[in-house]
Amino acid sequence: MYFLYNLLALSASFVIKVLSLINPKLSLFVKGRKETFSIIKKSISIKDKVIWIHAASLGEYEQGLPVMEKLKIEYPLHKIVLTFFSPSGYEVKKNSTVADSICYLPLDTKQNVRLFLDAVHPEMAIFIKYEVWPNYLAALKTNDIPTFLVSAIFKENQIYFKWYGSFMRKALLNFTHIFVQNKKSSSLLKSIGVHNVSISGDTRFDRVSEILERDNSLDFMNHFKNDMFCLVAGSTWPEDEKLIIDYINQNTHHIKFVFAPHTIKTKHINTIIQAINKPVLCYSELDVKKPEGYDVLLIDTIGLLTKIYSYADVAYVGGGFATGLHNTLEPAIFGIPVIIGPNFDGFVEAEELVQLKGVISIKDSTEFKDKLNLCFVDATHRQKSGQINYSYIKAKEGATEKIMTVINSFFRYKI
């Protein structure tokens, strides 16, 4: 099976290079990997002690961040190498100071694995959630490097639990320890003979709880909101935007609206502006225009949404009508109701919070209007829903501490 896997990995590398000539995202994928070893060489010397953390993309990075921050505190003499698989993670975080070296992970071929591990020479490796790369894991095990899978979640339909999944099942055995989010994942792993497992919960709850401890104030939002009721719509897609814009155009209440669309290309931003028949201000115009006289603020940049949620009386999180629901926990931690579209199956926290009635699922513009109006006129209802969300998150804190206790028991013994 290793022969077939390695053949597939080499074939995938060739195909990706060809497709990168016509696909911008794959072009970033290929060009970025050409810089990996030069990035490592500039920041990591042969004398450095190194901890390697790997995340597929931005979501996994957010899950791994609480652990990364604890590692930096508890192992201050070690450098952190952070790798990404996807451009959507790397391109956003490549200039961050959260790690000493940030780069793409070379594809999982035998030669890449050897070159990468020689360059990084990690004393510990941490993979986030779904990342299972057989050649990397085999090499780490061979070199007796403690390797952990953090915030993992497993489902029956994954290859590990199929009759043809023995190769990937063996890869799981190369982890020193696996931290899973729930009991079901633990039971599934034990059913295939993987017993080095702990139920730690999801580090995302620690991550979003930390949001409350930082300064979330934004001068422009203070002036824009001006103590009025405010809906913040984050990570929206056209399907979400249509029903919200319909509401804005018909609204007679004293409500301020903030749009932070998933796509901030000029053409899309202009489409939103043209569809709204009320005064709209873009974030990029704040240098020349004052926000007080506008009903709608359009955020045509990235990196501000979490802080903007702190000003919301109600949040709408996009994706539930389109490609997949975005992060509901970031607004929920501020103790406000969160409205989403109808498609949230597989998003565990959304499923549970819809049941608890902290998150409100709507299927069309009529339901959106009714639910938002209820939140506007009934402060008690709004506060109750928000408290459900806040309490749900606070009750699930602690995954990071559980993970660090086990990691320390392995790693400190080794070093």
Enzyme catalytic residues: 60
Alpha-carbon gap, residue 85 to 104, rounded angstroms: 6
Q: Are strands 147-152 and 124-128 parallel, antiparallel or unpaired?
A: parallel
Q: Could you please report the per-residue DSSP string of 183-251?
A: HHHHHHHHHTT---EEE---THHHHHHHHTTS----HHHHHHHTTSEEEEEEEE-HHHHHHHHHHHHH-
235 phi-psi bin (left φ>0, alpha ψ -120 to 50, beta other): left
**361-to-244, 340, 344, 355 alpha-carbon distances in Å:** 14, 5, 9, 10
**Token pair listed for 309:** 């949620």
| Count of residues in the chain | 415
In terms of Cα–Cα distance, which of 373, 390, 284, 377 is closest to 333? 390
255 phi-psi bin (left φ>0, alpha ψ -120 to 50, beta other): beta
Given a contact cutoff of 8 angstroms between Cβ atoms, the answer to whether 220 and 308 are in contact is: no
**175-to-134, 171, 178, 236 alpha-carbon distances in Å:** 10, 8, 7, 38
Q: How many CB atoms lie within 10 A of CB 384?
A: 13
In terms of Cα–Cα distance, which of 86, 124, 194, 52 is closest to 415? 124
